[in-house]
Amino acid sequence: MSYDIKPDVTSLDEDLRLLREGKFDQNSINSIQGWIYTSVLKENIPNENLLDSLKSGVTLCKLANTLSQADIGSSIIKWKESKMPFVQMEQISQFLTFLRQYGVPEDELFQTVDLYEEKDPASVYQALKSLSRYANKRHPDLFPVLGPQIATKKPRPPVKQKPKHLKGESGWSTVEYGYMKGASQGSEGIVFGQRRNIL
């Protein structure tokens, strides 16, 4: 008699994917969809779900062109409506290239198949949230941000000057760095390997 028991173990990739998916409930997905269509593109939100509306790459190309027009005043991606899979995937790929140039970090991007084949929807959502932060950083008056804003680097606080009694000719002080006034193992009677007299 043989028992086919499946081990209660999952792969690290699957665990990370489930962890990412847990971060995005329907409300956060709706806010991403609202940011794309209402806030940036000024269009009506389609009736289909977010991934289906982005799968052709047309909306993503429009999004990239709208953001680039705010920066340089012109569109940078040519797109077309097409049912051909390779055209749609090429348009998604052009959007990913735009994200890299726009400043979105590599670890917050997704692969084309993550959107087109819905392999990892959470990484698509994360990239769009990250894009909103970078768009808001460049044009806070035009584009709202989803989630926290990008932190600005604060200048380092000034280092206080050393007191005069610690400044030596060589630039460092023996008092400051633990000078022991000539004490050594020999002068203190430390002998290794023998019993020590503590009296």
Please tell me the distance from the alpha carbon of residue 162 to that of residue 173, in angstroms, as a whole number: 10
Q: Which of 5-19, 81-95, 128-142 is predicted with the least confidence, judged by mean pLDDT?
A: 5-19
Q: Is residue 87 part of a domain?
A: yes
Interval 120-155: pLDDT, tens: 888 888 899 999 999 988 888 888 888 777 777 788
The total domain count for the chain is: 1
Which CATH number fits the domain that encloses residue 103?
1.10.418.10
pLDDT tops 80 at residue 193: no
Sign of the C-alpha dihedral, residues 12, 107, 119, 32?
positive
Q: Is residue 49 part of a domain?
A: yes
Q: Is residue 174 part of a domain?
A: no
Q: Note down the domain range covering 35.
A: 12-138
Q: Is residue 101 part of a domain?
A: yes
pLDDT score, position 96: 92
Cα angle 138-139-143, degrees, rounded to a multiple of 5: 120
Alpha-helical segments (H) within the chain: 12-22, 26-34, 50-54, 58-72, 85-102, 112-116, 121-138
pLDDT tops 70 at residue 177: no
Model confidence band, residue 73 (pLDDT cutoffs 50, 70, 90): confident
Burial class (CB in 10 A: 0-12, 13-18, 19+), 153: exposed
Q: Could you tell me if residue 37 is left (phi over 0), alpha (psi between -120 and 50 degrees) or otherwise beta? A: alpha
pLDDT tops 60 at residue 176: no
